[in-house]
Structure 1
Amino acid sequence: MGSGYAAAVERGTKLVVVVRADLAMGKGKIAAQVAHAAVTAALLEQETAAFAAWWRAGQPKVVLRIGSEAALTEIGERAKAAGLPVHAIRDAGRTQVSAGTMTCCAIGPGDTEQIDRVTGALALL
């Protein structure tokens, strides 16, 4: 691994999943949406140095809540502007929410400090 990997390990890496709290999803539905986000981020970022560092660190994950689709979109845009990977999850609409509803997004895996600058004000789910 190159110097990007070593730098990422030194600073720490994590994956954050930001979940909409306004949808009144049940616990099982939330768990499924968070799993969708984590799997999507892992699959789509697996060739990056940040992913390698995150994997070796034990795949640290944090789940946070946000109050609306507009706020979720805004946090995703801020994360992208900071150079972080963002993967939004839209539901298929088979159970508790309508098809196409954005339920959550994964930010990372990436540098912990960079992610915290974007998501640090959000509360834990």
Structure 2
Amino acid sequence: MRTDLGMGRGKIAAQVAHAAVSAVLQGPHGAVFEAWLQAGQPKVVLKVAGAAELAELCGHAVAAGLPVQVIHDAGRTQVAAGTATCCAIGPALPADVDPVTAVLSLL
């Protein structure tokens, strides 16, 4: 989640929810997905400082072969239309995601 946009808590929650739903709808639904479901659909919300860091993170995740969904806001409330607010990485195995996200802090 980008922290530079000044979004309220509710807006942040909505963006994270959009990312999670998008990841499930668009992601692969094989054995890794089933394992993720059985594990209780774990999610971890991390923060990035801005657009450049978000793009870099997504690039690293794609290079690692992970599913990535970037959320672009509709622009109806707090940020301009098309603004990349956050991304979802996965569902994937923690051992695959952790090397990409280990440098980030919890939101």
Q: TM-score, normalised by structure 1?
A: 0.83
The within-5 A match list for 1:24-35 is 24-35=6-17
What is the 5 A alignment of 1:1-125? 19-45=1-27, 47-125=29-107
Question: How many pairs were matched up?
Answer: 107
What do you get for the CA RMSD once the two structures are aligned?
0.8
Q: Which structure would you say has the larger Rg?
A: 1
Letter in 1 for 2:58: G
Q: What percentage of aligned pairs have identical amino acids?
A: 61
CA offsets, 1:17-73, max 9 Å, x none?
xx0000010000000000000000011125232211101110011000000101100
After TM superposition, give the deviation of residue 108 of structure 1 in Å.
0.5
**Unaligned runs of at least 5 residues, structure 1:** 1-18
What is the TM-score with the length of structure 2 in the denominator?
0.97
Name the structure with the higher strand share.
1
Q: Please tell me whether the aligned partners of residues 46 and 52 of structure 1 are also in contact (alpha carbons under 8 angstroms).
A: no
Provide the C-alpha distance between the structure 2 equivalents of 1:109 and 1:30, rounded to a whole number of angstroms.
Answer: 20
Secondary structure of the equivalent of 1:109?
A: coil
